[in-house]
Amino acid sequence: MAKLTKEFFSGNEVLILGYPLQKDPSMKMILSAFVKNNIRVYAMNADTTGDLDIKIYKSFDELSRVPKCAYIYLAKGKIAPWITVMKENGVQRVLFHSKKDVEPADIETCRKAGLEPAVACPMMLLGNGIHKLHKFLAGV
């Protein structure tokens, strides 16, 4: 896989699929990094309720536009059904947080569907300090 850069987020926008229902410290950092890097975030989670610091869409139909890149924040067992749906709605690139968060079969299914998958924490691409060191050590 090629080295990842901020340009992975085509058009400076990203869909976060499965935005968390509870306050999540890591997601707060990731969301902040996207915003600081001028990447517009579209958060989507069909199961959400309440106000969580950002507008959260329940389906692709609610989105005014669909970003070409999606960051997946779903449990392993919930990823597969979304692969075809993402492709049908115009997503082209998919970022998974880490290898422990995605089954190899889901990565292969993304490729077969015509999606470009990548595995890396967004903080390695967008963050500073220790995250840049982590990026170097991980070979991202």
What would the DSSP string read from start to end of 22-65? S--HHHHHHHHHHHHTT-EEEEE-TT--S--SS-EESSGGG-SS
Reference 8, options 70, 89, 87, 63; nearest CA is 70
Q: What is the pLDDT of residue 32?
A: 82
| Residue 52: predicted pLDDT | 61
Q: 52-90 in b/e burial notation, b at 16+ Cβ within 10 A?
A: beeebbeebeeeeebbbbbbbbbeeeebeebbeebeebe
Rounded to two decimals, the pTM is 0.84
pLDDT per residue of the chain (140 residues) written in tens, 0 to 9: 445 666 778 788 999 998 776 667 777 878 888 888 899 999 998 887 655 678 889 999 999 999 999 999 888 889 999 999 999 999 999 999 888 889 999 999 999 999 999 988 776 676 565 545 445 555 55
**93 beta partners:** 69, 116
Domains of the chain plus CATH, in order, are: 10-138 (3.40.50.720)
